[in-house]
Amino acid sequence: MAGQRKLYAEIKDGILDKTWEEAASSAWILAEISNVNHYQNDAPEYQKFADRLSADAVSLARILEKKEQPAALEAAAKIGQTCSACHDKFKKE
Ligand code: HEC
């Protein structure tokens, strides 16, 4: 999970610094990691959050490849909401 934080930070920095290729590659990795995260819990709601994050990371990767900064910021914020939504429900402490 610390890996997701690292990737998410790289993506946000990349959008601001306009290092589009690196940010896009972090977004593709985030999508793949989230596919794996799906299997870390049997709860359907957990899996739905993981699936949504993965799909949104794919969309974000495509936006980053097109170097669209405002759309990328919006898509990254949407991903951040899914991180929080899953944590609110499933993360202890
Ligand atoms: C599908 C659910 C889910 C999603 C989506 C999710 N997380 Fe988590 N996250 C957890 C759970 C559950 C924990 C509690 C520790 C554990 O079980 O690994 C956690 C813990 C963490 C931690 C605490 C450190 C650690 O390794 O335990 C960080 C940092 C973190 N998540 C970052 C993120 C970021 C950034 C995102 C979005 C890009 C994200 N997470 C998306 C479920 C999720």
Residues 42-89 have pLDDT tens digits of: 999 999 999 999 999 999 999 999 999 999 999 999 999 999 999 999
17 close to 62: Cβ distance less than 8 angstroms? no
Indicate the domain borders of the chain: 2-90
pLDDT digits (tens, 9 = 90+) for 9-55: 999 999 999 999 999 999 999 999 999 999 999 999 999 999 999 99
Ligand 1 atom nearest residue 37's Cα: 1
Other Cβ atoms less than 10 A from the Cβ of 80: the count is 13
Task: Kindly list the protein residues whose Cβ atom lies closer than 6 A to any atom of ligand 1.
Answer: 1-2, 4-5, 8, 37, 46, 49-50, 53, 79, 82-83, 86-87, 90-91
d(CA 30, CA 58): 9
Q: Output the pLDDT for position 71.
A: 98
Cα–ligand 1 centroid distance for 87 (angstroms): 6
Residue 93 reports pLDDT greater than 80: no
Tell me the residue length of the chain.
93
Q: Residue 1: pLDDT above 90? A: no
Nearest atom (ligand 1) to Cα of 34: 5
